[in-house]
Amino acid sequence: MTSRHPERPVVPGVQALRSAIDRRDWDGAREVLRHASPGPVAEPLIVRGTAAAQLVDTIPTDADGRAEWGRAPDVADRLSISTVECARLRLAGRTREAADIAAQLEQVAMDALRYQPDAVATMLPPLRLQWAISCQLAYRTAISNTIFRRSCYGAEALGLDVVVRNCAGSLALNYAFAGELSTAREWLVKRDRTPPGAEPFEQTIRASALVARALIALEELDLASAAQVLDELGELHDNEELWAYASFAHIQYAVLSGSPARGLSYLDRSGARWERRQTPSSAADTLLACATADLQCALGRGDAALTALSLHPDSHPLLTVVRARVALLSGDPAATLLGCARATFHNTSTPRIQLEALVMEAAAYAQIDRADDAIASWRRATTFADTTGMVRPFALLPQGYVDLLADIGAALPKSWGRSRSMSPVLPDRVNVVKLTERERVVLAELTDDLTRFEIAAKLGVSPHTVKAQINSLFRKLGVHSRDEAIRAATELKLL
């Protein structure tokens, strides 16, 4: 019987790298990195090297300090050892710190190339790959793309095909997630044209390209191709760093194919399996919050969607646009328009986010009888869709809003094509129970099986006041008893 979660392949060079690090033979370690796949060999970097942590504390943040490091005779060793700490932090879930170090090391590397290129040129591509991954997993896409490209082109000049394929696949993933589908395809072509490495290496770097292909198919609503790619992706290894991107693709497929309950089950399994990697500073945290909210909306559970998003109060545009969707589905067009504006004008907004915002903006304007504004936003959205090929955001618009927009002359984009017959994936309205702060307190007290007289004494109010608040709770939750209230509040994630 095969294992449910496949073991990671044994990759040549891992043992050699461990030995070199233990001996502090940095020249030997760099030589292994030149010829091995950087993904798996990151692991021995993680479990060794207190020297790395000490050195990282001295990485300069000012231009003069970086130039001094760049001219240092041992700059190659400094970059190698610092990469040890960068990778260790990343795999420990401290992605924000790892990304900070990675960005600093890239700046030092640029100075080193200026002052003594012969000392660092051949070692940089595999190290840069590690830095780029660290930025990618902290959702710092712009700097991640820059470093991936530099790594890719440097590796190409040195004939490091495994590094080229890894970088090209990762760039395809970043661009596919951003909604830049044509650029994503260009990087997939580059990856496919680069000769593959040995099978163990290929198994460790396949996820990025496959997830990129799945995301492209989902944006184009080619659900058959998306299902085929996700099936090819199969079960991920327990130490797969791109697990959250893969989970996001699986969950988006579940929503679009009308199987949100299956998606919720997948989310629960993946969240439990990679819980240690899901930290507040990681891309995983943002991706899974958005995926959870979309799933809960598809199930009509607005409160559960808001709860998932409330755990992530930052202003990331991906979170902001999903909050706007929940507001639209709960009948709050003003909050929808505000969220769309914030998401669109954020400095890290992407074409994918901008198209989602335009579609929802048009629906919100239509809801408040601003037909001219609705038509203007809708035309921009359909032109955008026909130019980019993205149509997924239109599938997330409930049928009621599609009909409302059609009544004022808003037609679906030409690129909608074969997806015209898709059933709506989100309901016209989701249930949102808005409790006052006092009602939330009383609800919490109900779980302790206290009488209303005991609750009143505990809260310092009259039993009559508690009775009124309980009655209000029951009415908002649509229940008639304490047990029903607790059950409903639990399902809605209010407790």
Q: Which of 354, 350, 283 is nearest to 324 (CA)?
A: 354
The pLDDT of residue 448: 83
Cα–Cα distance between 472 and 492 in angstroms, integer?
17
Is the domain of 415 the same as that of 442? no
**Looking up tokens 């990856």, which residue turns up?**
191
Name the DSSP class of 282. S
Q: What is the pLDDT of residues 80-89, one digit of tens each?
A: 888 888 888 8
Q: CB within 8 A of 461, min separation 6: which ones? A: none
Residue 105 maps to a domain: yes
- Total domains in the chain come to 3
Task: Decide if 251 is inside a domain.
Answer: no
pLDDT at 31: 59
Shared domain for 410 and 442, answered yes or no, is no
Task: Return d(Cα 353, Cα 175) in angstroms, integer.
Answer: 13
Q: What is the CATH number of the domain that holds 155?
A: 1.25.40
First-to-last alpha carbon distance for the chain, in angstroms, is 41
pTM above the 0.95 mark?
no
- Count, residues in the chain: 495
Measure the CA angle with vertex 141, ends 136 and 147; round to 5°. Answer: 75
Q: Mark whether 453 and 336 lie in a shared domain.
A: no
Q: Are residue 365 and residue 450 in the same domain, yes or no?
A: no
Residue 315 CB neighbour total at 10 angstroms: 10
Q: How is 453-493 classified by DSSP, letter by letter?
A: HHHHHHHTS-HHHHHHHHHHHHHHHT-SSHHHHHHHHHHTT
Domain of residue 388, residue span: 272-421
| Residue 346 main-chain phi, psi, to 5 deg | -70, 145
Confidence of residue 40 (pLDDT cuts 50, 70, 90): very low
Question: Is 25 within the bounds of a domain?
Answer: yes
User: Do 409 and 444 lie in a common domain?
Assistant: no
Residue 414 has pLDDT above 50, yes or no: yes
Does residue 484 carry a pLDDT above 90?
no
User: Do residue 365 and residue 459 come from a single domain?
Assistant: no
In a domain, 249, yes or no: no
37, pLDDT greater than 50 = no
* Coil/strand/helix, residue 301: strand
pLDDT at 292: 92
Same domain, 174 and 317: no
pLDDT of residue 291: 92
pLDDT at 15: 59
Tokens of 216: 């492209």
Can you tell me which residue has the tokens 């335009």? Answer: 358
- Do residues 187 and 107 share a domain? yes
Q: What does the block give as tokens for 70?
A: 């760049």
3-state secondary structure of 297: helix
Q: Assess if residue 88 is contained within a domain.
A: yes
Claim to verify: residue 186 and residue 317 sit in the same structural domain = no
d(CA 413, CA 96): 39
Percentage of the chain lying above the pLDDT 90 cut:
51
> Which whole number is the average pLDDT over 458-481?
86
Q: How many CB atoms lie within 10 A of CB 313?
A: 7
Are 403 and 354 found together in one domain? Answer: yes
Model pLDDT for residues 242-263, shown as the tens digit of each residue = 999 999 999 999 999 999 989 9
The per-residue pLDDT of the chain, averaged, comes to: 85
Examine the pLDDT at 317 and tell me if it is beyond 60: yes
Distance set, CA 194 to CA 113, 190, 214 (Å): 26, 6, 21
Q: Which of 394, 421, 448 is the last residue of a domain?
A: 421
Domain stop point among 391, 421, 451: 421
Q: Is the pLDDT of residue 430 over 70?
A: yes
pLDDT at residue number 4: 45
pLDDT at 451 over 50: yes
Looking at the structure, tell me whether residues 135 and 164 fall in a common domain: yes
- Asked whether residue 337 is domain-assigned, the answer is yes
pLDDT tens per residue across span 188-221? 999 999 999 877 778 788 999 999 999 999 999 9
User: Can you point out the beta strands (E) in 49-133?
Assistant: none
Clarify whether residues 176 and 57 are in a common domain: yes
Residue 59: φ, ψ to 5°: -60, 125
pLDDT at 50: 47
CA-CA distance, 195 to 160, in Å (whole number)? 10
**β-sheet bridge partners, residue 431:** 301
CB atoms within 10 A of CB 425: 21
Of 223-227, 323-327, 334-338, 435-439, the one with minimum mean pLDDT is 435-439
Boundary (domain end) residue, out of 169, 194, 219: 194
One DSSP character per residue, 217-272 reads: HHHTT-HHHHHHHHHHH-SPPTT-TTHHHHHHHHHHHHHHTT-HHHHHHHHHHHHH
Residue 164 has pLDDT above 80, yes or no: yes
- Mean pLDDT of the region 117-125: 93
Burial group, residue 441, by CB count within 10 angstroms (0-12, 13-18, 19+): middle
pLDDT score of 273: 84
- What average pLDDT does this structure show over 115-126? 93
Q: What pairs with residue 301 in β-bridges?
A: 431
CATH code of the domain covering residue 321: 1.25.40.10
How many whole angstroms separate alpha carbon 331 and alpha carbon 58? 53
Confidence of residue 1 (pLDDT cuts 50, 70, 90): very low
Whether residue 254 is contained in a domain is answered as no
- pLDDT for 131 equals 96
Q: Can you tell me whether residue 431 is helix, strand or coil?
A: strand
CB-based contacts of 472, cutoff 8 Å, min separation 6: 439
| Alpha carbon distance 408, 392 (integer Å) | 22
CATH code, domain carrying 446? 1.10.10.10
Q: Is residue 462 part of a domain?
A: yes
Structural tokens at position 89: 């932090």
Mean pLDDT over 377-404 rounds to 93
